[in-house]
């Protein structure tokens, strides 16, 4: 919302669990309420919808795959269908977890086949397919493909509302560092993943890219038919989560990490949550460059 508002777009933001009262600037909207979505689109009459909402917690998706599919796939299909019928451009925020992340496969191009390793990735990949199916018809004699755009992104960091670190997989690492300081001798050390490679990307940068996509795809709808439907955006800076913890503790906070140990879930026979994370699902951003959109990102250390 801020990224679009800052460059003069009229914006309406929506939320559900975090929209607590009528004084908020956000519209309370239930993603699973089909009629409410129709009503909101007809009342607002947007040119572009950026669809960010999802169950984005892999373990939660594993434990309740039916609910995950309802949020990540079927609600997306509904929104794509309604946007398509009204000629509204939909930007669907997806994830690098649609890929397997096996060693030697990355970086992934938008044209590479998806092969998710967990329920979260599968429901998001299915959501992508729903967008392509629902926006792939013919409208006014032209291919409708450009009305549905998929933007895959990696691990995100940014400002957290209400100082709640659970809202961000990166902020929660700082919380882990502070918890480690209060452990007593004999307490079990805290474990942090030192296996999966991650490419943390600032939410402000993703917002700017969404604005640039919206500008480009709304300038000339006929020309937009020739633009790609699947795009990748990512930082090029690579860390494991343990690497980020080490960076935060030693270079920024000045705190010891003696009570935090490196963890490789692939070597842990006791790891039983059933959620397999990709090893390296780095995204190739060349297609964004090819259509003239900057892939510059903020400096990770500098931001913190």
| pLDDT on residue 283 | 98
Mean pLDDT of 200-214: 97
248 and 210 part of one domain: no
184 and 140 part of one domain: no
276 in a domain, yes or no?
no
| pLDDT on residue 225 | 77
Could you tell me which residue, 69 or 21, shows the higher pLDDT? 69
Mean pLDDT of 19-40: 85
115 and 147 part of one domain: yes
| 112-163 per-position pLDDT tens digit | 999 999 999 999 999 999 999 999 754 444 445 568 999 999 999 998 766 6
29 and 118 part of one domain: yes
Mean pLDDT of 38-58: 94
Range of the domain at 262: 161-195+238-267
7 and 65 part of one domain: yes
Q: Where are the alpha helices (H) located in the chain, listed in sequence order?
A: 2-6, 34-44, 58-63, 65-69, 75-85, 119-134, 171-181, 203-219, 221-224, 241-247, 286-290, 300-303
pLDDT confidence band for 19 (50 / 70 / 90):
confident
Contacts of 216 (CB under 8 A, 6+ apart): 224, 227, 291, 292, 293
21 and 136 part of one domain: yes
User: In whole angstroms, how far apart are CA 110 and each of 104, 191, 209, 285?
Assistant: 17, 34, 16, 9
CATH of the domain at 113: 3.40.50.720
Look at the alpha carbons of 218, 224, 229, 232 in this order and tell me if their dihedral is positive or negative.
negative
119 in a domain, yes or no?
yes
14 in a domain, yes or no?
yes
180 and 229 part of one domain: no
79 in a domain, yes or no?
yes
* Count of structural domains within the chain: 2
Name the burial class of residue 196, with classes exposed (0-12), middle (13-18) and buried (19+) by CB atoms within 10 angstroms of its CB. Answer: buried
Residue 2, pLDDT > 50, answer yes
175 and 114 part of one domain: no
| 80-122 per-position pLDDT tens digit | 999 999 999 999 999 999 999 999 999 999 999 999 999 999 9
109 and 225 part of one domain: yes
55 and 83 part of one domain: yes
């Amino acid at each position: 919302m801020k990224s679009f508002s800052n460059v003069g777009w009229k914006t309406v933001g929506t939320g559900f669990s975090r929209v607590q009262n009528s004084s908020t600037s956000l519209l309370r909207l239930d993603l699973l309420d089909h009629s409410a979505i129709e009503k909101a689109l007809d009342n607002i009459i947007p040119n572009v919808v950026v669809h960010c909402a999802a169950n984005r917690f892999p373990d939660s998706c594993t434990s309740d795959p039916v609910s995950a599919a309802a949020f990540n796939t079927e609600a997306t299909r509904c929104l794509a269908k309604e946007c398509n019928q009204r000629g509204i451009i939909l930007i669907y925020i997806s994830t690098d977890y649609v890929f397997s992340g096996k060693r030697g496969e990355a970086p992934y191009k938008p044209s590479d086949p998806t092969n998710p390793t967990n329920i979260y990735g599968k429901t998001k990949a299915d959501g992508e397919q729903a967008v392509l199916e629902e926006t792939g018809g013919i409208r006014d004699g032209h291919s409708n493909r450009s009305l549905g755009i998929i933007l895959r992104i990696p691990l995100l960091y940014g400002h957290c509302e209400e100082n709640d670190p659970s809202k961000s997989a990166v902020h929660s690492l700082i919380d882990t560092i502070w918890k480690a300081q209060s452990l007593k001798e004999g307490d079990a050390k805290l474990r942090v993943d030192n296996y999966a490679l991650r490419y943390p990307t600032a939410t402000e940068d993703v917002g700017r890219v969404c604005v640039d996509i919206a500008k480009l795809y709304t300038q000339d709808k006929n020309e937009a038919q020739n633009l790609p439907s699947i795009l990748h955006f990512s930082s090029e800076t690579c860390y494991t989560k343990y690497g980020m913890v080490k960076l935060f503790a030693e270079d920024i906070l000045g705190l010891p990490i003696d009570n935090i140990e490196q963890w490789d879930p692939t070597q842990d026979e006791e790891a039983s949550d059933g959620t397999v994370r990709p090893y390296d699902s780095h995204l190739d951003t060349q297609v964004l460059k090819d259509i003239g959109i900057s892939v510059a990102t903020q400096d990770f250390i500098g931001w913190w």
